[in-house]
């Protein structure tokens, strides 16, 4: 009789886990599909079927966790709402990120990306993150909101602090204080702008939000302030990492890079495969509203549940050869990848599926096409090796290429 050695329980909040989470994800899926982390007290769910269930079962799992993750910094947003409140607020927001307004915005997305890439030097090296992907999505949001480009560093500071606050599993006091500074500085900046747009509306997103109405409901200044904060984090941090990671994984698979370069219809497939292979948001939290059994483990009511997208998207129970980056894979639909019917987990699932997914799609496809145009041979700078960083959101820290 042979015995199987069970690997030690991963510690999600440990430095080793943050250094290389993908080495721990298979251990979680195979041996600890519901893993309680002692440091945070959270329950981490890692199998595709279980993560999908948590997202879709709104009766057993809620978004109450955003009450401590996000609300203290920017206020109450649509992603923590439920029932009629969520339905109304989502309907108020959706026209601004889909449909005619999005169609009007998309040419500006292309223009912004082209302007930024045109500033790359003709020789030496370029850090595609510091010189492009870090700032491109936030440029788009700033254009949508018609805010001063001179304040770009403020916006980046605020969304960085919000992302850190949201991801602060261990309760780091410095991160908490950083978030509290944003709690004061961000409203002091944005609320007067919202009030002015309400008095003198233009064609920008803030102005549109001040006049939109649905079933007799309108958005207050506080609601608009919170939504803009959400756009900064959802539209900045995550899209930045999605673009950078897609480029990185194409560079690490030269045959696929060559195929995408030759057939630009594959750019969308590359973006989608990256969403599966290395989703920019690796972990999203939910809250158990009742005692619930998942993979044979009972998660007590009131517990915070971590949906580990990065593990679920490489679950061999769901995907063929899941640890292979493959733009030609046939078990993920490119057509549905940016809709609520997506069969990967990167934008969550169910009624809280990311409303900005179509904007993210255009930004990523535009960015990658223009990078391929600018670099006929896309190669890392001599001596450079990329390194991924981050726990909740994850992507390459730098991406230094030959100009």
CATH number of 324's domain: 1.10.630.10
pTM metric for this prediction: 0.91
Q: Is 6 a member of any domain?
A: no
Q: Is position 9 within any domain?
A: no
Q: Which residues span the domain enclosing 309? A: 15-402
From 35, 23, 22, 27, select the one nearest 7 (Cα to Cα): 27
In 3D, which of 259, 268, 267, 309 has the Cα closest to residue 285? 309
3-state secondary structure of 392: coil
* Contact by Cβ (8 Å): 345, 52: yes
What pLDDT does residue 355 have?
A: 62
Low-confidence ranges of the chain (pLDDT < 70): 1-3, 92-93, 95-99, 101, 214-215, 340-341, 348, 350-356
**Quick one: pLDDT at residue 352?**
55
Rounded-to-integer distance, Cα 149 and Cα 328, Å? 39
Please tell me the predicted confidence (pLDDT) of residue 254.
97
Work out whether strand 292-294 and strand 297-299 pair parallel, antiparallel, or are unpaired.
antiparallel
Domain count of the chain?
1
Within a domain: residue 4?
no
Flag whether 314 is in a domain.
yes
Residue 2 domain flag: no
| Start-to-end C-alpha separation, the chain | 60
Of 132, 134, 139, 137, residue with least CA distance to 118 = 132
What local confidence, expressed as pLDDT, does residue 1 receive? 43
Dihedral, 236, 238, 242, 245 alpha carbons, nearest 10: 100
Q: What distance in Å separates the CA atoms of residue 69 and residue 234, rounded to the nearest whole number?
A: 14
Whether 317 is in a domain gets the answer yes
* Helix residue ranges, H only, 308-356: 309-312
């Amino acid at each position: 009789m042979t015995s199987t050695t069970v690997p030690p329980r991963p510690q999600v909040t440990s430095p080793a886990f943050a250094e290389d989470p993908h080495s721990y994800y298979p251990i979680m899926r195979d041996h600890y599909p519901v893993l309680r982390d002692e440091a945070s007290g959270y329950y981490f769910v890692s199998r595709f079927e279980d993560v999908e269930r948590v997202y879709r079962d709104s009766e057993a799992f809620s978004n109450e966790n955003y009450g401590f993750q996000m609300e203290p910094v920017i206020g109450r947003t649509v992603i923590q709402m439920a029932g009629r409140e969520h339905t109304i607020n989502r309907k108020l927001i959706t026209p601004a990120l889909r449909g005619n307004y999005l169609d009007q915005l998309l040419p500006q997305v292309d223009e912004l990306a082209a302007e930024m890439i045109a500033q790359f030097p003709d020789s030496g090296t370029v850090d595609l993150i510091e010189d492009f992907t870090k700032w491109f999505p936030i440029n788009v949001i700033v254009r949508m909101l018609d805010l001063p480009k001179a304040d770009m560093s403020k916006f980046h500071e605020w969304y960085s602090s919000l992302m850190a606050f949201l991801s602060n599993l261990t309760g780091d006091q410095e991160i908490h204080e950083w978030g509290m500074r944003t709690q004061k500085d961000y409203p002091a900046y944005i609320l007067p702008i919202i009030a002015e747009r309400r008095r003198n509306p233009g064609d920008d997103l803030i102005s549109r939000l001040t006049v939109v109405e649905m079933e007799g409901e309108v958005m207050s200044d506080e609601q608009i302030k919170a939504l803009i904060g959400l756009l900064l984090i959802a539209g900045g941090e995550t899209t930045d990492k999605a673009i950078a990671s897609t480029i990185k994984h194409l560079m690490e698979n030269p045959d696929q890079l060559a195929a995408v370069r030759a057939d630009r219809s594959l750019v969308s497939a590359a973006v989608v495969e990256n969403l599966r292979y290395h989703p920019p948001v690796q972990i999203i939290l939910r809250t158990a509203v009742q005692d619930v059994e998942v993979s044979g483990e009972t998660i007590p009511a009131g517990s915070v549940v971590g949906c580990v997208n990065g593990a679920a998207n490489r679950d061999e129970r769901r995907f063929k050869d899941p640890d292979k980056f493959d733009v030609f894979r046939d078990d993920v639909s490119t057509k549905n990848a940016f809709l609520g019917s997506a069969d990967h987990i990167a934008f969550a699932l169910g009624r809280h599926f990311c409303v900005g997914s179509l904007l993210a799609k255009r930004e990523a496809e535009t960015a990658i096409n223009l990078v391929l145009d600018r670099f006929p041979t896309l190669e890392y700078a001599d001596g450079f090796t990329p390194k991924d960083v981050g726990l909740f959101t994850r992507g390459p820290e730098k991406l230094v290429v030959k100009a």
